[in-house]
Amino acid sequence: MSSYREITRAQWNTLIAAQAAWMLVAMDALLYPFALTTLKGVFGMDNAAAGLLASASLVSSAAGGIGFGVIADRIGRKRALILTILIYSLGSAGAATARTVWELIFWRAVIGIGWGGEWTCGAVLVSETWPAEHRGKAQGVMSSGWSLGYILAAVVTALVLPHWGWRGLFAIGGLPALLALFVWRAVPEPMLWQSRTTPVWKEATGIFRGPLRRTTLVATSLTTSVLLAYWGLFTWLPGFLSTPVERGGAGLSIVRSSAWIIPVQAGAFLGYILFGFNADRVGRRPIFVIYTLAAAALVPIYGQMARNQTALLVLGPAIGFFGTGFFGLFGALLAELYPTAIRGAGQGFTYNAGRAVSALSPYLVGALADRGGLGSALAVTSAFFTLGAILVWFLPETRGRDLAG
């Protein structure tokens, strides 16, 4: 087993770049939920319409993730990653110019394309760069960028929204384009990709043939279930905290609800990191089950604590830890299920097809919230967390598996 001292500078640069790109795309993606209460007033949207707008970016992110999986197989992981960073930065800056709901939907869809593509390219890049015994840890560190981006979005919203409004908030989201310069100069293409022998444009459909067909079906079902749970919960969590108590929320101000999010995401950061270490130590599947079942148990309790702000603050880190930390599974597991020539295609499709279906979740929770309040509506996500805990057992345990050329 290799030690951390044997990890090269190029490998560290790759991980830092992938984590930073995921952090910044999270910030851009999540500025919308934090500005949701304001945007509903500006554009005259009810909860269902606001959820539908969030769903639009999820659908486009699925298309971006699937498309950039094939692109990354063809032109390289690094080049594809750079393109995704530029796309989601453009989308956020463009959203600041929106004058109608349809223009806002368009720019959110642009963000989604870069957002979905970034995860696919970054996860494959890290998997093919880091050694097998540390792959889970590296993917956990990369995935933790999402929680850092969530915290960053909360801080930026609290600082910018009250003074410069939602347009100023979205304009800040164009700054991540500068990261593309670091990726171009400091991150190499993986040797595993450079030494591939099978042309991807002839073999990408192989993920739907032979023994890989069942793998693709099960993996897609797994990602679908937990993404339905995640987006139903975390799209509406900021809205839940800022919605008045009489309408099923916690009744916090924008600034206080942003502050309440930070402990949740601090717990998520720790959850990502510890998931990676434990997944490399005892296996991907058992740790995933622990996380998802714990999340299923905690969410209904959290949703009924709207009148007890102390309880919300205490339970928040646990919701973040168990409700998001398990995503460290997918960067490692999905890469370990497919050969190099079609790894981007396989990883991109299985994760992002699930994301496309999960686009229904913000709308579903929003529609339920219009009838019974947000706290009760959030509880529906528990069923999807539980389903994920079952489905993971239909995939092989891949801990320590060398990636096939």
Span 22-36, pLDDT tens digits: 999 999 888 887 787
Residues 398/327, Cβ–Cβ less than 8 Å: no
**Can you read off the two tokens belonging to residue 245?**
């108590």
**Can you read off the two tokens belonging to residue 50?**
């606001």
Q: Is 98 left (phi over 0), alpha (psi -120 to 50) or beta?
A: beta
Task: Note whether residue 194 is domain-resident.
Answer: no
> What average pLDDT score do residues 339-360 get?
86
The string of pLDDT tens digits covering residues 248-265 is 455 555 445 556 677 888
Percentage above 70 pLDDT, the chain: 85
Question: Tell me, what amino acid is at 205?
Answer: T
- Residue 164's contacts (CB-CB under 8 Å, 6 or more residues apart) are none
Angle, CA 188 vertex, CA 28 and CA 325 arms, to 5°: 45
**Can you read off the two tokens belonging to residue 211?**
């023994």
Q: What's the pLDDT at 42?
A: 82
Number of domains forming the structure of the chain: 1
Q: Give how far Cα 373 sits from Cα of 239, 255, 261, 319, 366, Å.
A: 11, 22, 20, 19, 9
For 152, the enclosing helix (H) or strand (E) is helix 135-172
Largest CA distance in the chain: 62
DSSP 8-state symbol, 308: -
Give dist(CA 133, CA 401) in Å, integer. Answer: 8
Task: Note whether residue 405 is domain-resident.
Answer: no
Could you give the count of Cα atoms lying within 13 Å of 330 in the half-sphere of its Cβ?
33
Note the Cα 229 to chain centre separation in Å.
Answer: 12
Q: What's the pLDDT at 296?
A: 93
Per-residue pLDDT band for 13 (boundaries 50, 70, 90) equals very high
Residues 222/392, Cβ–Cβ less than 8 Å: yes
Residues 117/22, Cβ–Cβ less than 8 Å: no
**Can you read off the two tokens belonging to residue 126?**
């890290």
Residues 283/397, Cβ–Cβ less than 8 Å: yes
CATH number for the domain that contains residue 176: 1.20.1250.20
Report the 10 Å Cβ neighbour count for 357: 18
Task: Note whether residue 364 is domain-resident.
Answer: yes
- Residue 314's contacts (CB-CB under 8 Å, 6 or more residues apart) are none
Task: Note whether residue 197 is domain-resident.
Answer: no
**Can you read off the two tokens belonging to residue 239?**
């809205």
Residue that wins the pLDDT comparison between 143 and 243: 143
Residues 77/344, Cβ–Cβ less than 8 Å: yes
Question: Tell me, what amino acid is at 105?
Answer: I
Task: Note whether residue 192 is domain-resident.
Answer: no
Range picked from 53-57, 230-234, 268-272, 363-367 for highest mean pLDDT: 268-272
DSSP 8-state symbol, 96: T
**Can you read off the two tokens belonging to residue 247?**
């309408």
Task: Note whether residue 158 is domain-resident.
Answer: yes
**Can you read off the two tokens belonging to residue 298?**
């905690």
Note down the domain range covering 85: 8-182+204-394
Task: Note whether residue 191 is domain-resident.
Answer: no
Which ranges of 76-134 does DSSP label H, i.e. alpha helix? 77-95, 101-129
**What's the mean per-residue pLDDT of the chain?**
84
Q: What's the pLDDT at 355?
A: 83
For 62, the enclosing helix (H) or strand (E) is helix 47-75
Which ranges of 235-283 does DSSP label H, i.e. alpha helix? 237-242, 254-282
Per-residue pLDDT band for 402 (boundaries 50, 70, 90) equals confident
The string of pLDDT tens digits covering residues 168-202 is 999 988 888 999 999 999 999 888 777 766 554 45
Give dist(CA 55, CA 47) in Å, integer. Answer: 12
Q: What's the pLDDT at 4?
A: 64
Residues 126/139, Cβ–Cβ less than 8 Å: yes
Residue with tokens 């593309």: 180
Question: Tell me, what amino acid is at 97?
Answer: T
Q: Please state which of the ranges 90-99, 182-191, 242-251, 381-390 shows the lowest mean pLDDT.
A: 242-251
Give dist(CA 16, CA 344) in Å, integer. Answer: 20
Q: What's the pLDDT at 242?
A: 55
Is it the case that residue 298 has pLDDT exceeding 60? yes
Task: Note whether residue 155 is domain-resident.
Answer: yes
Residues 380/365, Cβ–Cβ less than 8 Å: yes
Residue that wins the pLDDT comparison between 40 and 295: 295
The string of pLDDT tens digits covering residues 205-224 is 778 888 889 999 999 999 99
